[in-house]
A and B are shown apart, each in its own frame.
Chain A
Amino acid sequence: MSAELLLVQALNGLQFGVLLFLVAAGLTLVFGVMDFINLAHGVQYMLGAYFGATLAAATGSFWLGLLLALPAALAAGLALELLVFRHLYGRDHLAQVLATFGVILFLNEGVKLAWGAAPLQMPVPPLLEGGVALMPGLQYPVYRLAILAAGLATALLLWVLVDRTRAGMLVRAGATHPDIVAALGVDIRRLFLLVFAFGAMLAGFAGAMAAPVLSVEPGMGDAPLILAFVVIVIGGIGSIRGAFVASLLVGLMDTLGRAALPDLLRLFLAPSPARQAGAAIASMLVYILMAAVLAVRPAGLFPARAG
């Protein structure tokens, strides 16, 4: 593999990682601060993509679609919180998993009733069309660089919000010592609602940003959800910094594994089994990474909750 190709693959990995971060950030906040397992986070990502695609088609503008998808995703998240999740905070994790899994089934079918089973498309905005030639024969799409930039900007914004504001302080305190925070007179319900709404909006933003690259279809949120759980487990539940580092790790590991493993295995195996075994091992890599991290640091890389 040439140095150029390696560079491009590393960029691909970072870009995929940043997209994962957008999904995982909301999930880790909700899980860490509220101790609430929200399997429906993936369908909120899907809803964001559907809102983005629909609103972009209705307004004729990608930017308006993206902008309007945020309040729409927020509204959908709040509706879910009021109707379903609010009643689950006091329950144990099994009840939460069952109920939010039900929400997945319900919304996947609901989306199909509303938009049909065929995938939708959201066009890339003219401003971000085209590509940069990073290596001969390959145009690196400008839109993917925009995803990278948007993800990094979101990470920075989150860092400022969580580390530098009063609300962020409460969120951090809520993640580590929820009982004390409540005892100090903070309305923990309102804090939860705020965190949840923000998480829903982040998932919706990720969905809308991914819509021009990925297929907008029922069930599109299921695969990112699983990866997002891997990310927050590696990073440490409730930790934004952990989610960021773990997202990039998972993105790089997955992409570089897929790119390099078949070639590496060819050193020991015949070409045909090397290709298939390489592909199979590459798809396991992130889980192997998770197992390795958990073996060394059971609470993840950056545990939010001490002890």
Chain B
Amino acid sequence: MTTPRLGRRRLLATAAACGLAAPHVARAQAQAVRIGFVTVLTGPQAALGTQLRDGFQLGLRHLEGRLGGRPAEVLVIDDELKPDVAVTKVRAALERDKVDFVVGVVFSNILQAVFRPVTEASTFLISTNAGPSPFAGRGCSPYFFAVSYNNDQVHATMGQVAQDEGYRRVFILVPNYQAGRDAVAGFKSRFRGEIADEAYVPLTQLDFSAELARIAAARPDALFTFMPGGLGVNLVRQYRQAGLAHIPFLSTFTVDEATLPAQGEAALGFLHAAVWAPNLDNEQNRRFVRDFEAQYGYIPATYAAQSYDGAMLLDSAIRKTGGDLADKAAVRRALEAAEFRSVRGNFRFGPNHFPVQDFWLCRVARRADGRFQTEAVRKVLESSADPYAGECRMRTG
């Protein structure tokens, strides 16, 4: 088990990267704020986890290694995309390292695994990506905040787009697992037209030729798909190669800055729904994108942007309480206030600690330097709250 040692080594690297003193010195300073940052750094989805981590670290760098005036100490925890591993490592961070906040988490199944251990320890859990519906509704917690979105909203945004464009028949292609079926439900919640057909593929699918032939035979007005990571890389390239690109490609989590380097030209013009895009025009975002590229040499995706916001949120909350983390109710009120300037522009928390924010239709475009990014085309949903907020009974006290 490499857990503790890996954690320490990453901690060293993080502290050094943030220009902090060596960790043993930092630990001697009793006032350091400790963050357990959970992300996936091994396996095929590591590209997303790296984005999540780098976004948070850029936030800290902009804050000069401090959160709300107190030095910050970040323990990066690799969840390996295995719920049992995540729970073991997060428990260790809570009990041995006494972290003040647990932040991060790319995937919903990992969040669901660490949710109870963290919130039952009366420690704040701040998701910068995963936003499963149960925690937005009945399962909401006074110790949980999502800086990202509720999964359903992104898929529903695409449903709205298909509705707005007047598509009558849409073909749906998703992986055959819970998140895939949620994507279908989210899309259908706002799309009123006919579903030409639905195809479900295993998560290990390599070759989409059978499904592409079915799409061609069905001749839909548009395709809706949710194919995260490598699945999306394969699908996008094969879709283009099969000459289907004239059928509008409506997607969620399929073409973004984490996969575009591999999709390149094949994804040009494909559509995607998101809470953020690199070209959103506000001062905070321009600085984030410019410095992120200069620092890490690649274009940030939503994962990085949400994590950056997560760092800014923590900073604002700790500043508001004057650095006092003992009074949990005061920390909660400070987090709820969300007094920071988001790279998304419009941002506030709803009563269930999920954001009320705008959702954008984005299109893959080639930049002047030849690299590819998603660009916001139009705002689809304005100040949108998730559909589960009404079910949440927040038990504070």
Nearest to A141 among chain B residues (CB) is: B241
A215 to B198, CA, bound (A): 24
- Number of residue pairs across A and B with beta carbons under 8 Å? 141
Cβ proximity bits B183-199 to A, threshold 8 Å, 1 near / 0 not: 00000000000000111
CB distance from A60 to the nearest CB of B (A): 15
A211 to B245, CA, bound (A): 20
**Do A214 and B234 have beta carbons less than 8 Å apart?**
yes
**Do A15 and B262 have beta carbons less than 8 Å apart?**
no
State the interface size on chain B (CB cutoff 8 A). 45
Quick check: is B259 within 8 A (CB to CB) of the other chain?
yes
Binds A, one of B88-96, B125-133, B210-218: B210-218
**Which of B47, B199, B209 lies in contact with A262, CB distance below 8 A?**
B199
- Give the one of B230, B241, B264 with max A CB within 10 A: B241
A141 to B240, CA, bound (A): 9
**Do A118 and B262 have beta carbons less than 8 Å apart?**
yes
**Do A118 and B47 have beta carbons less than 8 Å apart?**
yes
CB distance from B300 to the nearest CB of A (A): 12
Quick check: is A186 within 8 A (CB to CB) of the other chain?
no
Cβ proximity bits B41-70 to A, threshold 8 Å, 1 near / 0 not: 111101101100000000000000000000
Contacts of B147 in A (CB 8 A): none
Binds B, one of A1-9, A64-72, A187-195: A1-9
CB distance from B180 to the nearest CB of A (A): 10
**Do A12 and B199 have beta carbons less than 8 Å apart?**
no
**Do A131 and B242 have beta carbons less than 8 Å apart?**
yes
CB distance from A29 to the nearest CB of B (A): 23
**Do B209 and A12 have beta carbons less than 8 Å apart?**
yes
Quick check: is B258 within 8 A (CB to CB) of the other chain?
yes
**Which of A109, A139, A224, A276 lies in contact with B206, CB distance below 8 A?**
A224
Quick check: is A79 within 8 A (CB to CB) of the other chain?
no
**Known contacts A118-B298, A215-B262, A258-B201; A144/B209 CB under 8 A:** yes
In A135-154, which residues have CB < 8 Å from any B CB? 135-141, 143-144
Measured CB to CB, the residues of B under 8 A from A are 41-44, 46-47, 49-50, 176, 181, 197-202, 204, 206-207, 209-214, 216-217, 219, 230-231, 233-234, 237-238, 241-244, 258-259, 261-264, 298
Measured CB to CB, the residues of A under 8 A from B are 1-2, 5, 8-9, 12-13, 15-16, 19, 108-109, 112, 116-121, 123-124, 131, 133, 135-141, 143-144, 212-220, 223-224, 255-256, 258-259, 262, 272, 275-276, 278-280, 283
Further pairs besides A5-B213, A258-B211, A283-B202: 17, Cβ < 8 Å: A16-B207, A16-B209, A118-B47, A119-B230, A133-B243, A137-B244, A213-B238, A215-B231, A215-B233, A218-B43, A219-B44, A255-B207, A256-B210, A259-B214, A262-B199, A276-B200, A279-B202
